Amino acid sequence: MWGIIRQRVACRSIPASILEQSLQRIPIRPVGYALRNYSSTAKEMTVRDALNSALDEEMSADPKVFLMGEEVGEYQGAYKISKGLLEKYGPDRVIDTPITEAGFTGIGVGAAYYGLKPVVEFMTFNFSMQAIDHIINSAAKSNYMSAGQISVPIVFRGPNGAAAGVGAQHSQCYAAWFGSCPGLKVLTPYSSEDARGLLKAAIRDPDPVVFLENELLYGESFPVSAEALDSSFSLPIGKAKIEREGKDVTITAFSKMVGYALQAAEILANEGISAEVINLRSIRPLDRLTINASVRKTNRLVTVEEGFPQHGVGAEICASILEESFEYLDAPVERIAGADVPMPYAANLERMAVPQVEDIVRAAKRTCYRSGSMAATA
Amino acid sequence: MEAAITRKDNIITAYRDHCLYLGRGGTLLETFAELMGRKDGCSKGKGGSMHFYKKENGFYGGHGIVGAQVPLGCGLAFAQKYSKEDNVSFALYGDGAANQGQLFEALNMAALWDLPAILVCENNHYGMGTAEWRAAKSPAYYKRGDYVPGLKVDGMDALAVKQACKFAKEHALKNGPIVSTFI
């Protein structure tokens, strides 16, 4: 309705803002309604609650779904993601395990072979390395090796990447490692809607899914639409989301870095650079179509990730662009990644080892030839 | 073994899976075709010698990583208990695999949760090329369960094997996991 009024106003050369102001002074409240916020995205939800509600709904819908991991039951979840689930579903479906990743991951995969739908939680994905043989060799490859006889409907989930001050052995990002393995699906939610939709899709999926969360995002709140709150909601696996449209440079990111990329886009906008931010959502399958279409529009690319640079997600995206959209590039691709060093403990060193908003801004400016130096170091 | 159990009980093993596959209803044609890498093979030529499966008859492979099949077998037992079925899962492994850590991890959980899992060590006294006395401090693998009861069976005596499997199945359904060695 406002659109039509604006069009008519433009034809008659009355400034739209004045007309809108005067129209707003007329109360438009229907009789009998209490005063309400009519916004469709009024509800906010933390990522933690989003994951908890997704688990709850999927466990309620399918009795074959069960949760297994360290501290998921009586402790209510190491990060409280599984709060209330033990009480609701009982110890047969919410299982506390000893600290034996190789053992319980193998047991989870075996249960999936038989037809159950396990959700195996790793306290962080650093510990998944103890069980990585079962994830790759027992789960990912089985469907192919058995020519379709054995399907493995399992979800491996938990926090991935750097937290705050947890040191080298607790801060690695595994997106690139799992992303290279055929037979796996790898998802990286950012917002609460991502968390809900992607976890539900992962649990319903008949193949093994690695679900990489982020500890620092658990407490962050995001608006969720009414559609996302419905228990049948799910997001497609393998589709990226364009979080912010732009025309000068494409910035790809996943998980926590999406937030940083959006902040960088805001700063760049004030300097006259319009950045398009893509939230990858899915590392495997990677949404090459969306990324390439965006780069063909903007002609410049900055890839952002928290993990180590060599053989990283950014490297794969660069290769994909070179293979499909080389002639569209107006500048070399910029890769922003974590520093090529085990994560240091000291807070100031940790800040330097993880990409910051300024690094993304500088890289975007470099692709737009707005800075003097073409140096790779951020 | 087959004489003592049903097709609703599960079997899982490592890469010496050819005869178990035949015992679970596989045909010689499928076996040879798979070994030749042909599409009439049981895994359509994509699996190979180490990856024979017959899920509908309770045979879950066929695994190349030594020791991995034991937690997987305990997982099958877990699923049977979860689904409230009165059946068991046999996880076969060699004396070489008996030293794998994940075996003990899985056994601990099987005992904690009373899973109907039967661990069977087929002892041929060699792990790859290394003789048993150089690899295992204690070659009495059936005793390695510690808190889990163990059974020592003469693997060369078919009737003894049948009786042992019958006993193990009854035991596992009532009391939880049991470790056995077939020598």
B169 and A CB contact within 8 Å:
no
What is the reported pLDDT for B183? Answer: 85
Q: What is the pLDDT of residues A336-377, one digit of tens each?
A: 999 999 999 999 999 999 999 999 999 999 999 976 444 444
10 Å CB burial of residue B2 (0-12, 13-18, 19+) is middle
Residues of A with CB under 8 A from a CB of B: 66, 92, 95, 97-98, 100, 102-116, 133-134, 137-138, 142, 144-147, 149-150
* Confidence label for A3 from pLDDT (cuts 50, 70 and 90): very low
Q: What is the pLDDT of residues B10-66, one digit of tens each?
A: 999 999 999 999 999 999 999 999 999 999 999 999 999 999 999 999 999 899 999
A39 pLDDT tier (thresholds 50, 70, 90): low
Q: With contacts defined as CB-CB under 8 Å, which chain A residues touch B70? A: 106
* The pLDDT of residue A181 is above 50: yes
Who's near B174: CB < 8 A, 6+ residues apart?
Answer: none
Model confidence at A40, in pLDDT bands (50, 70, 90)?
Answer: low
Nearest CA in chain B to A115: B79
- Nearest-angstrom CA–CA distance, B51 and B62: 4
Q: What is the average pLDDT value for chain B, to the nearest integer? A: 94
CA distance A230 to A57: 10
Chain B nearest-CA distance from A178, in A, is: 19
The verdict on whether A311 is a catalytic residue reads: no
Cross-chain residue pair B51–A137, CB shorter than 8 Å: no
Residue of A nearest to B10 (CA): A114
Alpha helices in chain A (DSSP H): 2-12, 16-24, 47-61, 85-89, 101-114, 132-133, 142-145, 175-179, 192-204, 226-229, 256-270, 288-298, 313-325, 347-353, 357-367
**Residues 6 or more apart whose Cβ sits within 8 Å of residue A78:** A70, A71, A72, A121, A123
Among the partner-chain residues B72, B83, B101, the one whose CB lies closest to the CB of A109 is: B72
Q: Classify the C-alpha dihedral A359-A362-A366-A371 as positive or negative.
A: negative
Q: How far apart are CA B154 and CA B182, in angstroms?
A: 6
Record: contact A103-B79, CB cut-off 8 A:
no
**Angstrom distance (rounded) from CA A120 to CA B60:** 21
| ipTM of predicted complex | 0.94
Catalytic status, residue A243: no
Interface contacts (A, B; CB < 8 Å) = 122
Q: What is the pTM of this model?
A: 0.89
Length of chain A: 378
Nearest CA in chain B to A100: B105
Closest by CA position to A265, among listed A336, A361, A330, A356: A361
